Chain A
């Protein structure tokens, strides 16, 4: 099937199998390997991307569902060679260990901050409830998100 959609601001018009999952489309067809797969059933959140302003598990989204949609992946957070404040905050708060959950975690945090620039710790924990991390125990991740939870929260800031 032919579908049109936007990824990280770029228009795509592709002929794809209707059964292809968004995570495969991003990783295999578009080479955006920052989106990770950890379970393939929407339980771990490693494959989280932002679709029309909401954090979604890209392993549960099939090609027909992305027709006409705007998708942002981890690769969109850095702009003009500058890491976003959220990315910087993860680095500065030791919130990154093995790093496999990090892109999904960042995208869930970004989706929250786009609609709520001053979330409480509880709201942050709820927003990343679907993102599993086995290394950090979440404390430093919550702290990292809280530290940037002020100001303008457009993508790339």
Chain B
């Protein structure tokens, strides 16, 4: 990576930054259409019950109320909120628009459509519902033990799998066997804009959805099939959104809102409050991972046996795939002779789990990295030395997929990161004795680059040259606030050798744009970026062909730079992109436009090692993260400023995951903290400085060697912080989040044991 680039590797602000600082960018929650109606949901206050009676007459009589819907006047057919393409496996259709049986506190019971938000809210309050309560199964343990009560007719065990890789070799020497159990909790994505949906059904029988989503084609396939509309009659437009983090990956509000617009033949907007967003949309899944390893005295991992249980909540959503991908991560990080994994996905009467930044990786990496510290302790071995003996090397094969891990530079991250962080000085070999105790923790992590190896993986873009030599790049991309549009534009600009301000990159629109699976799976830079690179190369070729015709010289005698093409050695004999585009149209009947489909053929690992220093107040149990370093194997940072922002944002979310954040569910299934008053999101004073070390060694098929960053940035954080707390206190806590109560309990228990 010794070539200096003009645009790639330079920091650019997010493409719409100037609108955002003005407050002039219209988010979905800002958009109003004329004649628009407002919808409001009635959510179930209880966790498991049959609806025995529902009386909407008073609500219907309220002036301004247009319609009230319940399970009695909406289709009884079911759908999957998770499906991305037709015929996709593991997309259980277990959800209705409005339910006749509530399965969690927050399930959708009724919806009012009215001429104003206020009227819709009033109407909701006067709907009378009678429930026949059913036993509440608030945890996977209860749901699995239960013999009679079934959350869904098929039973409470949603999915189960098991596989074994490699051979259990007879181990001739003594081994250490270590077992740990790590619990991770349900958390709220906490995107700052709450969930909103807007739909219209016009007189041409066409449905339009303005969606703050991560995949417009996923929304279209679900909504169109549900409403039995052909896909050309459903237009889904990606609009600006205030964050996502996986929380808008699945199609949650769109089927219902589309149904309402179709029934009323008017635009309908459904907006959720923060509380409704917390309880009724989606959460990160809660998981329990039991890991048992057999390790030689020299510190080599001989066997690793993992058992995970994932709490899907009340509907399947993406939980089957989420459980499955948890089994695909550890072998991307460590060389292990024998690996076995068994997993269960379980329905419970709790909020629905679904896609969340990192998709199974944060959960299982937290478990394995807490485990690795425990193994090193058992061996009496240095934490770094132990990991170095087992980490994957560049171009190792991923044991689970048999695909190359590419230029996997996790060892560089660990060695260079440890040095930059001053690990050997900060790690406590002896626990502090005062009230305030410091400690250091580290965690390694592996993630992926797209879906190749387990799912179709391709992206299509159209790049066209305007008459003045500027370009329009039409894509199926979704800007979630990560800088996707900017980095894709930088890639195309680098190839075309033109200032990025002359390229407009468009976001997804099912009617006007090309197909793409969506922004998830850490696929955007690696796969869509490669598509942008290739389509720009094709356009450049065509552009040079046109220049060759105009200048009457073969292509190999042409040079180009900054939007001009000239005959080599004779810079005076040049032509601008503008003249090429215009002349091609006027004189050569040529339009410079290319549509290109890129399909992925690799899936290297993305790696990170994070280092945290914490201070624990042993009197209160409160933890403060005092310093932090994140080392990332990113291949090549396309836009370093935004890359740093992704990492720092990942750390903010990860510290919360480790220490505070949890959607607490009572035994009766009630949600105990459904507001930001009692759901603590890390604020500025809580946040440490995050130092960043980027390892940019390229070597894989991403554009200019780039690999993913958004998800991997979050993956190691919780384990690094938990390990730091355990180092500070000499404890082995693995039950997240590490609230003051848990820390005081661990300290009490330790004192008692001593």
Contact assessment for A134 and B13 in the assembled complex, using a CB-CB cutoff below 8 Å: no
- Pick the residue among B17, B26, B651 that contacts A91 (CB under 8 A): B17
Closest to A34 in B: B23
Beta-carbon contact of A137 and B651 below 8 Å: yes
Given the complex, which residues of A lie within 8 Å of B104, measured CB to CB? none
Q: Indicate whether B429 reaches chain A with its CB closer than 8 angstroms.
A: no
* Closest chain A CB from B388 CB (angstroms): 29
B135 on the A face (CB < 8 A): no
Contact call B192/A38, Cβ cutoff below 8 A: yes
Which B positions have Cβ atoms within 8 angstroms of A? 11, 13-14, 16-27, 29-30, 189-194, 240-243, 245, 273-274, 480-483, 641-642, 644-645, 647-653, 675-677, 681, 683-685, 687, 689-690
Assembled-state Cα–Cα distance A101/B21 (Å):
10
- Cβ contact within 8 Å between B242 and A100: yes
Known: A90-B17, A128-B684, A134-B245. A103 touches B23 (CB 8 A): yes
The one of B23, B676, B684 that contacts A44, using a Cβ cutoff of 8 Å: B676
**B13 to A100, Cβ gap below 8 A?**
no
Contacts of A15 in B (CB 8 A): none
Q: Is the CB of B650 within 8 A of A137?
A: yes
The reply to whether A134 and B685 form a contact with Cβ atoms under 8 Å apart is no
Could you tell me the dominant secondary structure of chain A's interface residues? loop
Q: How far is the CB of A85 from chain B (nearest CB, A)?
A: 11
Is A120 close to B, CB under 8 A? no
- Alpha-carbon separation in the docked complex, A154 to B681 (Å): 32
24 interchain pairs, CB-CB under 8 A = A33-B24, A34-B23, A38-B192, A39-B274, A40-B273, A41-B676, A75-B22, A83-B21, A83-B22, A91-B17, A94-B13, A97-B645, A100-B27, A100-B243, A125-B684, A125-B685, A126-B685, A129-B685, A136-B649, A137-B650, A137-B690, A139-B648, A139-B689, A141-B684
Chain B residues with CB under 8 A of A97: 14, 243, 481-483, 642, 645, 649
- Residues of chain A lying within 8 A (CB to CB) of residue B273: 40
Complex Cα–Cα for A107 and B642 (A): 23
For A40, list chain B residues within 8 Å (CB): 273-274
**Neighbouring B residues of A92 by C-beta, 8 Å:** 13
A120 to B191, CA, bound (A): 28
Min CB gap A102→B, angstroms: 5
Q: A43-B677, A98-B243, A100-B242 are in contact. Are A73 and B649 (CB under 8 A)?
A: no
Q: Are B648 and A140 in contact (CB under 8 A)?
A: yes
Q: Which chain A residues lie closer than 8 Å to B19 at the CB level?
A: 99
Find the residue from A33, A99, A130 having the highest chain B CB count within 10 A: A99
- Residue-wise, chain A 91-129 has the 8 Å CB interface mask toward B (1 for contact) of 111111111111100100000000000000010111011
Specify which chain B residues have a CB less than 8 angstroms from the CB of A128 in the assembled complex.
683-684
Residue of A40, A124, A130 contacting most chain B CB atoms (<10 Å): A40
In the complex, are the beta carbons of A132 and B683 less than 8 A apart? yes
* Contact among A34, A75, A91 for B18, CB-based, below 8 A: A91
* Cross-chain contact of B20 among A78, A99, A124, A133 (Cβ < 8 A): A99
Q: Are B684 and A134 in contact (CB under 8 A)?
A: no
Could you say which of A35, A93, A94, A124 has the most chain B C-beta atoms within 10 Å of its C-beta? A94
Given the contacts A98-B480, A133-B192, A134-B652, A37 and B29 also touching, CB distance less than 8 Å:
yes
- Complex CA distance for A87 and B24, rounded to whole angstroms: 13
Report which residue of A77, A98, A122, A136 has the largest number of chain B beta carbons within 10 angstroms of its beta carbon: A98
Write out the residue numbers on chain A whose beta carbons fall within 8 Å of the beta carbon of B29: 36-37
Which residues of A have CB within 8 Å of B681? Answer: 44, 132, 134
Nearest B residue (CB) for A126: B685
In the bound complex, do residue B652 and residue A43 qualify as a contact, i.e. CB atoms below 8 Å apart?
no
| Nearest 3 interchain pairs by C-beta | A34-B23, A98-B481, A100-B242
- A39 to B22 Cα, complex, angstroms: 21
**A38 B194 Cβ-Cβ under 8 A:** yes
Complex interface: chain A residues within 8 A of B189 (CB): 134
